[in-house]
Structure 1
């Protein structure tokens, strides 16, 4: 038995995978303490873990901080918003996270730490600040891998280059990416200095992937870019299965998913769904005259929809992806790593419409491997949506490429992988 602290910033997309790991480790007989945001207390206890809340200065509601924050939403998608997110959502919790981890390690000095890659509470001690180190520190990268090397940038290999010319270009592009996040790195350095760190602080994402003992990325090599050589402390773990729904009843339209016409699922995810006019509503209107069945998952009260659903659309607050995606032919999404890869694992091509956080990096992978189409916008036009849907549904090469990646997902077991890494 291993004693494990499972920790995450209080962000839905970061926390849900850690709850799955907590439950899986508990089922295998390990002692799990869940250090999570207060809104996840009940879920942590349901997983069988001992729940410990994040301190008040590291706890918040990400739906307000990310989804409905006028300061954030006033920033253009891209470097400014990305820096704002990293600084205000993740770096800002460092002091409270550090204090909480130290209290738990004082109780159980031999505990291992399993946390998301953007949980920064173990950074201070790793960089020389006073305190205890966990016996083993395993970081789970739930979002896109934001690391390049001599063979690729964080957005993929640069086209048309070979040999030393490609190496020089990739190094320059990767240096530019780190420079783009200078304000985030500076904010992290300030907090680390406050907490007594004595060693040089790397660039933010260099620290993300170099400080833990090992990084388990929730993806497969076939959904990553080709690399010269992943570091020995980097493991592709696959993805967790989609969480099954709690309601065993099927929607009244479930029998329509009978294969008579293609099924297109559209979602804006669980966080970036404050403005349904960006993607969900345009998709419903764009596909209204096509011979497809559109399933729109709003991930909030369906009354937020500002239009009447067309005759070929079915709208729900939530439909479990584990049941829905095996019956789907296409997913239209704003490109979060979890939903995108869940679709690919189910053999479903994707149309990507995301420009914030790590979503462009997920979209770049989809385009690179021809697993769907990247529209390179969060607000596609009706014409763009129709063309993309027509192209993917009409070209079997997309589904064939997805089948190959799907087989790799099926061959990975992330809970078994992470359990082994914790020992």
Structure 2
């Protein structure tokens, strides 16, 4: 048994995989303390895990981020991205550092597993006074931002015949670093104020390079290849979908019998406030197609503002571990978890998303031929229908996806992260 602190920002999408990981490690006998925002206390303790709340500006409510008046003044793009990073990831560093120090002062014999964008371990890693965990492993559930001569965040830069690919990628990465210069400057200021003595590398690289090890919840063949990645980076696969033992199939479940293609559409469990972005265009666009559409809404069905076509079925929740094996195509706004779960189940993806990490996931799907990048968050019904027809007929897409199924199956993400943290997995 090891004593492990599991830390994540109080952001639902960032905390969810770490909390799933924490449960799995606890089931293997480790003593877990989850360090995150106070609003998640009930959820953490309900899972049987010890809880410690962060304080100060680190303890924000992610449900209110979209209503932040200062943020609303900024158009999506560099200004908003820098605002998000400086406000929700950089500014909390002193409070995160203090909370980690309190836990380590109570018991120095603890390991740390953090979300990669939880920056509370940065100060001591860079020479600031304080205690360090026995070992620090960062886990990232979003596409790797790590700069490389081989690629950028969105893939290799397109080049013409005879042009230097590595030079083009370096220029692309430098352009991104310049775009994020306000965040870099703010982080340097905060880290210096806490007593950091070592030079701070570009922060997107630091999230991967500073920890003792970084576990990326992905596999080769979905992530872009980086021949110059540090040895501390490990692609460990994805966490298994947790079953829902109390879920009962709806009355229409036997209709998913393979007699015609099943197209699943979802906007996830967070970005589903406006179903007109993707779910409704899919229902409308495929209404006259010879497919069965299953819309997993993540919210109540009466939120739909369009009639449900005869060939469609809707539900608030359907466990992916039982739905995806019946699917032929997965239409998503591009969250990394759902997209990879589909591909791991052998289901090609159509991705339509332009916020957070969604465009980067869509870029990976397109680059590796695993589906279609619609390059918009609000496709028309006609565009959805055309993409579905193309994806269902494209044998290369299906072959590429099928090649990745055994790659995902070969990984035990929980066991690999346990090994990276404390040594060989427990029996």
TM-score by length of 2: 0.94
Residue number in structure 1 paired with 2:401:
402
- Farther-moved stretch of structure 1 (55-64 vs 368-377): 55-64
Point out 4+ residue stretches in structure 1 off by more than 6 angstroms: none
Q: Post-superposition shift, 1:206? A: 1.7
Q: Post-superposition shift, 1:161? A: 5.3
Structure 2: runs of 5+ lacking an equivalent: 423-427
Q: Distance in 1 between matches of 2:408 and 2:105?
A: 38
TM-score by length of 1: 0.95
Q: What are the Cα deviations for residues 302-332 of structure 1, in whole angstroms up to 9, with x where unaligned? A: 3322222222222222211111111111111
Alignment of 1:6-405 (within 5 A): 6-66=6-66, 69=68, 71-72=70-71, 75-160=74-159, 165-405=164-404
Q: What are the Cα deviations for residues 143-168 of structure 1, in whole angstroms up to 9, with x where unaligned? A: 11012311112211223457881111
Q: Distance in 2 between matches of 1:300 and 1:39?
A: 21
Q: Distance in 2 between matches of 1:316 and 1:252?
A: 11
- Farther-moved stretch of structure 1 (85-94 vs 402-411): 85-94
Contact persistence 1:19–1:43 (CA under 8 A): no
Contact persistence 1:85–1:357 (CA under 8 A): no
Q: Distance in 1 between matches of 2:246 and 2:314?
A: 16
Q: Post-superposition shift, 1:41? A: 2.5
Q: What are the Cα deviations for residues 108-138 of structure 1, in whole angstroms up to 9, with x where unaligned? A: 1121100110001111111222211111000
Q: What are the Cα deviations for residues 257-281 of structure 1, in whole angstroms up to 9, with x where unaligned? A: 1112211111112222222221111
Aligned residue pairs: how many? 422
Q: What are the Cα deviations for residues 41-61 of structure 1, in whole angstroms up to 9, with x where unaligned? A: 233234432111222532233
Structure 1: runs of 5+ lacking an equivalent: none
1:10/1:246 CA distance change after superposition, 3 Å: farther
- Farther-moved stretch of structure 1 (293-302 vs 387-396): 293-302
Residue number in structure 1 paired with 2:425:
none
**Match of 2:51, SS?**
strand
Alignment of 1:406-421 (within 5 A): 406-421=405-420
1:319/1:179 CA distance change after superposition, 3 Å: same
Q: What's the C-alpha RMSD, in Å, of the aligned pairs?
A: 1.9
